[in-house]
Structure 1
Amino acid sequence: MLEQELIGKRFGRLTVVERTDIKQCNSGEAGNMMYRCVCDCGKERLASGTDLKRGRAVSCGCANADVVKEMKRRLHLGDVEHSNVYQLMRKTSKNNKSGRKGVFWNSRKKGWGVTIGVNGEKKTIGLYSRLSDAIAVREEAEEKYHKPLIEEARMKVDEEKQE
Structure 2
Amino acid sequence: MKKIEHGFNSGQRFGRWTILDRYVFSARGEKKYLCRCDCGTERYVLERSLKYGGSQSCGCLRKERAYQATAYNLLGQTFGELRVIGRSRKRTEMGAYWTCLCSCGYTCEATAAELVSGRKTHCGCKSVRSYATSNITGQRFGRLTALYPTKKRDAKGFVIWHCRCDCGNEPDVSYNNLMYCGQQSCGCRKKEHDQELGTLLTHVGGTSPEMIQSQKLPRENTTGYKGVYLVRGKYLAKIVFQKKQYFLGTYDSIEEAAAARKSAEALLFGETAAFIQKWKESAAKNPEWAGDNPVEIHVSRDRDGRLAVSYSPQIL
TM-score (norm 2): 0.29
Greater C-alpha radius of gyration = 2
Taking CA–CA contacts closer than 8 Å with sequence separation of 6 or more, which of the two structures ends up with the larger relative contact order?
A: 1
Length-normalised TM-score, structure 1: 0.49
